[in-house]
Structure 1
Amino acid sequence: MTDKDAILITAGPYQFLAKFEPDAPKTVDVFRGLLPYRKQLIHVRWSGEALWVPLGDENLGIKFENHTTHPSTGQILLYPGGYSETELLFCYGGVSFASKMGPLAANHFLTIVEGMEHLKALGELVLWKGAQDVLFEAADSER
């Protein structure tokens, strides 16, 4: 993994190292241009064990690529909008991505490669204690 592919995620009291997915190049390019990216994670309403960053009507100018409805633990997805609002989905357990309109698919563009042991604790923290700050930034050579 090259440094340009490594992303440090600080979410609540936890840190994770993630890598960009080569099968979502347009989504990766757009997200890389947003770094450092600061938002808040809240718990999903419909999808299961995941956290999300609602982005409303924000149009990032991307289409579907490398999209899935059933992401795995540690995968981070970007839904480009359409049937539901634009959003990031941060998966910490079993997920079936959906909205009140029904099933959705989103672009898998980032995967956690270090810190997976903290994902469940982060999910439970957000579920029971509320929104947590999240920062996505380029990782340096030490992390």
Structure 2
Amino acid sequence: MADIEIDIGGEIFHAFYEEKDAPKTVARFRELLPFSDRIIHVRWSGEACWIPMGERDLSIGYENATSHPAPGQIIVYPGGLPTSVSETEILLAYGAVAFASKAGPLAGNHFLTIREGLDRLYKIGRSVLWDGNKPITFRKAG
């Protein structure tokens, strides 16, 4: 059974925590649930959508960090660190991604994975690109 239900503009996806590899990130994200915002298309990273979180300090540091999340992988750029070159953000890959900002390459903590419905996820990502932002909600599955 999935850990998280993600609603993107009325499309429902089920995701699983990567708790073994990103325990601090998973624990911090659980504290944020339910979490609602809007998702917009990335500018530099390729086929992905993101949730900008500004200067929010998640106090998690790096763990299980990647610059190339696969489709369905969700990463968080933790921000709040002296070495941070971008704002805190959540990024959801729907295709090929090379995570970056205007300051250059970034890495984010892979903490959540959508394993099924990647064809629908691709369509949602393209819709965000061409039609604009969509509401997104993460909630505990069940």
TM-score normalized by the length of structure 2: 0.94
Q: Indicate the SS of the match to 1:88.
A: strand
| 1-structure distance, mates of 2:11, 2:48 | 16
Q: Which residue of 1 aligns with 2:60?
A: 62
| 2-structure distance, mates of 1:70, 1:50 | 11
Name the aligned partner's letter for residue 18 of structure 1: A
Name the aligned partner's letter for residue 122 of structure 1: I
Q: Which residue of 2 aligns with 1:104?
A: 106
Q: How does 1:10-49 map to 2 (within 5 A)?
A: 10-21=7-18, 22-49=20-47
Aligned-pair Cα RMSD in Å: 0.9
Query: How far does residue 116 in structure 1 lie from its aligned partner after superposition?
Result: 1.7
| 2-structure distance, mates of 1:100, 1:15 | 31
Q: Which residue of 1 aligns with 2:135?
A: 133
1:26-78 deviations in whole A, cap 9, x for unaligned? 00000001000001000000000000000000001110000000110000000
| 2-structure distance, mates of 1:116, 1:18 | 11
Uncovered stretches (5+) of structure 2, i.e. residues with no partner: none
Name the aligned partner's letter for residue 58 of structure 2: L
Q: Bigger shift: 109-118 or 82-91?
A: 109-118
TM-score normalized by the length of structure 1: 0.93
| 2-structure distance, mates of 1:74, 1:44 | 15
Uncovered stretches (5+) of structure 1, i.e. residues with no partner: none
| 2-structure distance, mates of 1:14, 1:34 | 21
For this pair of structures, how many residues does the alignment match?
A: 137
1:71-128 deviations in whole A, cap 9, x for unaligned? 1000000001111000000000000000011100000000002322211110111011
| 2-structure distance, mates of 1:104, 1:8 | 27
| 2-structure distance, mates of 1:25, 1:79 | 15
Query: How far does residue 14 in structure 1 lie from its aligned partner after superposition?
Result: 1.0
Name the aligned partner's letter for residue 72 of structure 2: G
Partners of 1:16 and 1:116 within 8 A in 2: no
